C-alpha cells in the first residue's frame, strides 16, 4: 500500500513477513486463544481416528491397527442401539417441544407487563434457578419426589391418591427431566428474547393502537414477528445439538430402575468408554453422535435459509 510497493512481485514469504511486522501485535493477542484451542480442541479431534482402530494403549493412537468400521457395525447391531437412539431423540424432542416455547411465552408476558417493578421482580425470580448446579438440581428433584418423605408425594397422599415412586418408574423419567429443565432455565432463556423485544420502537405500538389493535393483536402481530429471527437462530442451534442431551443431569438422575428410559448415548459412551475402558468402541459411538448432529444442523440451517431467510451462516 505504501512506498514499499516499488518491488514488483513480493514473494509469499516476504508478504507474510510484512504482514506479521505490521500486525504482529494483533496476532500476539490472539495467540493464547489459538494455542488453547489447538491443545484442548484440535488435538483431541485428531484422536478421533481411534474410532476406526483397535486402540492398544502401549502402541498409542498412531501405532494401533486400523479396523475400518468394525466398531460402528458393532454399535449398530447391538441390542442397545435402538433403545439409546429412542431415548436420546425422545428426551431431545420432548425438551424441544416444551422447553423451547417456554422462555418465549414468558418473555412475551413479561414484555406486556406495565408495572415495571412487578416485571423486574418476576424476571429476577424466574432466572434464579439458572444458577443452581446440576448436582443440586438433581438433589432437589430427589428430595421433592421421594416416595416416603418428598413433598410432592405428601400432596398426592393428601388428595387420597397412591404415592408414586417417580424415580423408579421409567415412564416418568423424560417428563421429570424436561419439566425440571423448564423450571430451571425458562427465566434465563427469556432474557435474550426480552432483549430483542426491548428494541421494538414504541411508535409501532402506537400506530397499531390507532388502527384499533388490542393487546392480543400487539403480541400476535408485533411482538411475535419481531422475535422470530432470534427464535429461529436459537431453534437451529438447538436442533444442531439434538443428540447432545445433557450428560450431567441424565447421569445423576439415572438409577438401575429407570435405566430403560434414561440410558442415552452420552451416558452410554461414558460407561463403555471410561468405566469399561473400551476406548475405540466408545469413540466410534461418540463420532456417530457428532456426525448426526452436524447433518441435522446443516439440514435445518438450509431449510431455514430457504423458508425464513434466517440462518447461522
Partner 1 sequence: MTKQKASTGASDKTVDIMIYIILGLIGLGVAYPLYFIIIASFSDPTMVNTGQVILLPKKTTFEGFALLFHHNDLWIGYRNTIIYALSGSGIGIIITMMVAYTLSIRDFKSGRFIMFFLMITLYFNGGLIPTYLWMKKINLTNTPFIMILLGSVSVFNIILARTFIRSSLSKELYEAAVIDGCTHFQYFFQIVLPLSKAIIAVLGLYYGVFHWNDYFRALIYLRDGELYPLQLFLRSILVEASADMELLDVEEVIKQQRLVELIKYGLIIVSSLPILMVYPFLQKYFVKGVMIGSVKG
Output the smallest distance, CB 17 to partner 1, in A: 14
Cell of 254: 439415572
Output the smallest distance, CB 125 to partner 1, in A: 5
Cα–Cα distance between 185 and 122 in angstroms, integer? 14
Number of residues that bind partner 1 (CB under 8 A): 91
Considering only the stretches 68-76, 78-86, 90-98, 147-155, report the one whose residues sit in contact with partner 1 under the rule CB under 8 A. Answer: 147-155
Cα–Cα distance between 123 and 50 in angstroms, integer? 47
H helix intervals, the chain: 12-37, 43-46, 60-63, 70-77, 80-99, 101-111, 116-127, 134-145, 151-158, 170-197, 202-210, 215-218, 224-239, 247-253, 259-262, 265-270, 279-307
Place of cell 431415548: 87
**Shorter beta-carbon distance to partner 1: residue 44 or 256:** 44
Q: Does 171 bind partner 1 (CB under 8 A)?
A: no
Q: Does 286 bind partner 1 (CB under 8 A)?
A: yes
- Quick one: which of 286, 261, 264, 262 has its CA closest to 273? 286
> Which residue of 14, 17, 18, 23 would you call a contact of partner 1, by CB under 8 A?
23
Output the smallest distance, CB 196 to partner 1, in A: 7
Cβ neighbors of 217 (< 8 A, separation 6 or more) are 208
Cell of 153: 408425594
Cα–Cα distance between 85 and 244 in angstroms, integer? 11
> Which residue of 252, 305, 308, 310 would you call a contact of partner 1, by CB under 8 A?
252
**Shorter beta-carbon distance to partner 1: residue 44 or 65:** 44
Cα–Cα distance between 250 and 238 in angstroms, integer? 18
**Shorter beta-carbon distance to partner 1: residue 26 or 303:** 26
Output the smallest distance, CB 129 to partner 1, in A: 6
Cβ neighbors of 272 (< 8 A, separation 6 or more) are 278, 281, 282, 285
Q: Does 125 bind partner 1 (CB under 8 A)?
A: yes
| Residues 178-237 interacting with partner 1 (rule: CB under 8 A) | 183, 187, 191-192, 195-196, 198-199, 211-216, 230, 233
Q: Does 168 bind partner 1 (CB under 8 A)?
A: no
Other C-beta atoms closer than 10 Å to the C-beta of 302 total 12
Q: Does 72 bind partner 1 (CB under 8 A)?
A: no
Q: Does 270 bind partner 1 (CB under 8 A)?
A: yes
> Which residue of 81, 144, 172, 205 would you call a contact of partner 1, by CB under 8 A?
144
Considering only the stretches 68-76, 77-85, 168-176, 269-277, report the one whose residues sit in contact with partner 1 under the rule CB under 8 A. Answer: 269-277
Considering only the stretches 2-10, 18-26, 88-96, 168-176, report the one whose residues sit in contact with partner 1 under the rule CB under 8 A. Answer: 18-26
**Shorter beta-carbon distance to partner 1: residue 9 or 41:** 41
Cell of 75: 454399535
Q: Does 257 bind partner 1 (CB under 8 A)?
A: no
Output the smallest distance, CB 68 to partner 1, in A: 18
Q: Does 242 bind partner 1 (CB under 8 A)?
A: no
**Shorter beta-carbon distance to partner 1: residue 1 or 6:** 1
| Residues 80-109 interacting with partner 1 (rule: CB under 8 A) | 106, 109
Helix H, strand E, coil C: the string for 26-80 is HHHHHHHHHHHHHHHHHHHHHHHHHHHECCCHHHHHHHCCECCCHHHHHHHHCCH
Amino acid at each position: 500500500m505504501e512506498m514499499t510497493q516499488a518491488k514488483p512481485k513480493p514473494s509469499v514469504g516476504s508478504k507474510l513477513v510484512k504482514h506479521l511486522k505490521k500486525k504482529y501485535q494483533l496476532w500476539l493477542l490472539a495467540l493464547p486463544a489459538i494455542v488453547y484451542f489447538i491443545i484442548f480442541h484440535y488435538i483431541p479431534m485428531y484422536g478421533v481416528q481411534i474410532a476406526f482402530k483397535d486402540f492398544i494403549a502401549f502402541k498409542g493412537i498412531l501405532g494401533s491397527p486400523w479396523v475400518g468400521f468394525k466398531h460402528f457395525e458393532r454399535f449398530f447391531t447391538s441390542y442397545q442401539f435402538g433403545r439409546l437412539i429412542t431415548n436420546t431423540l425422545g428426551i431431545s424432542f420432548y425438551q424441544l417441544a416444551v422447553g423451547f416455547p417456554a422462555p418465549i411465552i414468558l418473555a412475551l408476558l413479561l414484555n406486556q407487563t406495565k408495572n415495571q417493578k412487578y416485571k423486574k421482580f418476576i424476571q429476577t425470580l424466574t432466572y434464579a434457578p439458572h444458577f443452581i448446579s446440576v448436582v443440586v438440581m438433581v438433589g432437589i428433584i430427589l428430595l421433592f419426589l421421594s416416595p416416603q418423605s418428598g413433598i410432592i408425594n405428601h400432596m398426592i397422599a393428601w388428595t387420597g391418591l397412591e404415592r408414586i415412586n417417580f424415580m423408579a418408574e421409567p415412564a416418568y423419567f423424560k417428563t421429570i427431566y424436561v419439566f425440571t429443565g423448564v423450571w430451571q432455565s425458562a427465566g434465563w432463556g427469556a432474557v435474550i428474547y426480552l432483549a430483542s423485544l426491548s428494541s421494538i420502537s414504541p411508535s409501532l405500538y402506537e400506530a397499531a393502537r390507532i388502527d384499533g389493535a388490542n393487546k392480543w393483536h400487539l403480541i400476535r402481530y408485533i411482538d411475535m414477528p419481531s422475535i422470530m429471527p432470534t427464535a429461529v437462530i436459537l431453534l437451529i442451534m438447538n436442533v444442531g445439538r439434538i443428540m447432545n442431551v445433557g450428560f450431567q443431569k441424565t447421569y445423576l438422575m439415572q438409577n438401575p430402575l429407570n435405566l430403560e428410559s434414561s440410558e442415552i448415548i452420552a451416558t452410554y459412551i461414558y460407561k463403555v468408554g471410561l468405566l469399561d475402558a473400551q476406548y475405540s468402541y466408545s469413540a466410534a459411538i461418540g463420532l456417530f453422535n457428532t456426525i448426526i448432529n452436524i447433518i441435522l444442523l446443516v439440514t435445518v440451517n438450509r431449510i431455514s435459509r430457504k423458508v425464513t431467510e434466517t440462518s447461522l451462516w
